[in-house]
């Protein structure tokens, strides 16, 4: 028998894996024979690793006893000794079992507020994908952490990344890699494995796209060009205007019901969002043009639904009073662009309206307020995806420095004015300001 590497109990006996990846051996579960006072025996069968079909005749080995109970004890002793011989690491565990340990570990992070349920669910999604990939590779559900090699990790990530149906882009690839790195790092810390198989996989640098908001003039033009002849067109106009002035996500906008809008003690109307993308509730004030869009949409709903009008209706309901699909909301802008601003086709989407609102808030009140208005969990998200990089303006820079408080020690008599050597371009600029 070749060198043993793994032994596990199955329904029909003890299956032993060997260095020959396609060949396993099966030890019978119970003793055989024992008829008419003959000795009991057990059988060893060479089997196919994938189909589990016999590859030759059974080999019979005697247990040297004709007593049933004694024979069972001897066979169990043989089976457990074989299993102990094949275990390379006493801490070694099955992949599926360690998923449960990982889940328990992540639950602790959820309680501490480091991650939320949605993130954890996304992490488990990629771990489950990897488990299914391993089952296809090993042709078995009984896979141990120590059996997983860097080559398995590399091929799994390659199967994810691409342009074929079911494959993902750079960002999802990188996310999957980070999840699996964390998963196996936990196993490494617990001495379940000797090395992380994903540590040698290629790291893809995700290309961060520049934010592409509309200009205010473009949004204004789009709204002005959409006709008002039908209920749907009026809903388009009001929805685009409302979204620009509230910076809501498409999923948040389409799920607003009339009963979610209420007046607070400060006299302002607010949209109450019970659960947003970051898992928290959020109140969005309805002010300026958003208030006009809200009032026009109310009139639109009343004229269309008549007696069926109620506070259970979505604010931007479809023709039949149901919640709009996400695809329908996106098409509001795509169709309007195709017809009225064709040079922007393929460059702008519905989400660009939200980015426009965020950019305009940032210009007036700064990045921190823009992050709050956009309801981001972290200011880094606002900076990376929503705010356009501003070119350095030396005029503003110099003006800001000129307004700093003066140092009294520099005004004392007897001290000569210090002349610093500065570039000619900056010298000309300061002379112009002065």
Residue predicted with more confidence, 433 or 122: 122
Segment 113-135 shows an average pLDDT of 89
The proportion of the chain whose per-residue pLDDT surpasses 70, expressed as a percent, equals 80
Band of pLDDT at residue 191, cut at 50, 70 and 90: confident
As given in the structure block, the two tokens for residue 131 are 């488990």
CA distance 176 to 123: 8
Give the fold, CATH level 3, of 95-189.
Answer: DNA polymerase; domain 1 (1.10.150)
Band of pLDDT at residue 166, cut at 50, 70 and 90: low
- What is the maximum span of the chain, computed from C-alpha positions, in angstroms? 125
Band of pLDDT at residue 418, cut at 50, 70 and 90: very low
Band of pLDDT at residue 110, cut at 50, 70 and 90: confident
Question: Which pLDDT score is estimated for 164?
Answer: 56
pLDDT in tens, 237-247: 999 999 998 98
CATH 1.10.443.10, applies to 216-354: yes
CA distance 209 to 347: 12
As given in the structure block, the two tokens for residue 87 are 């275990």
CA distance 210 to 233: 31
Cβ(313)–Cβ(258) below 8 Å:
yes
Q: Are strands 13-18 and 261-263 parallel, antiparallel or unpaired?
A: unpaired
Which of 50-59, 193-202, 243-252, 335-344 has the least mean pLDDT? 50-59
Band of pLDDT at residue 2, cut at 50, 70 and 90: very low
Burial 297-329 (b: 16+ CB within 10 A, else e): bbebbeebbeeeeeeebbbbbeeeeeebeeeeb
Segment 50-60 shows an average pLDDT of 80
Band of pLDDT at residue 358, cut at 50, 70 and 90: confident
Band of pLDDT at residue 431, cut at 50, 70 and 90: very low
As given in the structure block, the two tokens for residue 134 are 């391993």
pLDDT in tens, 211-238: 688 888 999 998 999 998 899 999 989 9
Question: Which pLDDT score is estimated for 209?
Answer: 64
Domain ranges of the chain: 4-86, 95-189, 216-354
């Amino acid at each position: 028998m070749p060198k043993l590497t793994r032994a596990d109990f199955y329904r029909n006996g003890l299956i032993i894996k060997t260095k020959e990846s396609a060949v396993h051996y099966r030890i019978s579960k119970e003793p055989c024979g024992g008829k008419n006072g003959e000795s009991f025996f057990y059988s060893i069968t060479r089997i196919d690793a994938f189909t589990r079909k016999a590859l030759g005749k059974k080999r019979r080995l005697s247990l040297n006893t004709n007593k049933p109970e004694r024979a069972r004890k001897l066979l169990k002793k043989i089976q457990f000794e074989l299993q102990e011989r094949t275990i390379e690491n006493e801490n070694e565990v099955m992949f599926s079992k360690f998923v449960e340990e990982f889940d328990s570990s992540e639950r602790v992070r959820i309680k501490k507020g480091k991650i939320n349920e949605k993130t954890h669910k996304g992490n488990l999604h990629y771990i489950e994908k990897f488990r299914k990939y391993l089952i296809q590779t090993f042709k078995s559900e009984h896979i141990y952490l120590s059996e997983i090699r860097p080559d398995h990790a590399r091929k799994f990530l390659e199967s994810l990344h691409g342009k074929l149906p079911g494959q993902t882009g750079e960002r999802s690839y990188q996310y999957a890699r980070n999840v699996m790195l964390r998963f196996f790092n936990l196993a490494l810390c617990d001495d379940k494995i000797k090395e992380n198989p994903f540590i040698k996989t290629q790291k893809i640098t995700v290309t961060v796209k520049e934010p592409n908001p509309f200009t205010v003039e473009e949004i204004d033009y789009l709204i002005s060009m959409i006709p008002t002849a039908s209920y749907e067109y009026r809903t388009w106009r009001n929805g685009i205007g409302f979204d620009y002035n509230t910076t809501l996500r498409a999923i948040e906008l389409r799920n607003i019901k009339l009963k979610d809008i209420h007046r607070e003690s400060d006299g302002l109307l607010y949209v109450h969002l019970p659960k947003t993308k970051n898992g928290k509730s959020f109140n969005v004030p309805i002010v300026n043009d958003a208030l006009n869009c809200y009032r026009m949409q109310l009139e639109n709903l009343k004229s269309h639904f008549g007696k069926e009008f109620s506070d259970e209706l979505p604010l931007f309901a479809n023709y039949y009073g149901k919640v709009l699909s996400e695809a329908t909301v996106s098409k509001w802008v795509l169709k309007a662009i195709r017809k009225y601003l064709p040079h922007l086709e393929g460059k702008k989407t519905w989400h660009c309206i939200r980015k426009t609102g965020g950019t305009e808030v940032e210009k007036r009140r700064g990045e921190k307020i823009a992050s709050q208005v956009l309801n981001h969990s972290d200011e880094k998200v606002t900076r990376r995806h929503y705010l356009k990089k501003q070119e350095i303006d030396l005029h503003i820079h110099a003006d800001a420095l000129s307004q700093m408080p003066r140092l009294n020690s520099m005004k004392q008599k007897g001290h000569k004015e210090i002349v610093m050597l500065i570039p000619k371009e900056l010298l000309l600029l300061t002379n112009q300001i002065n």
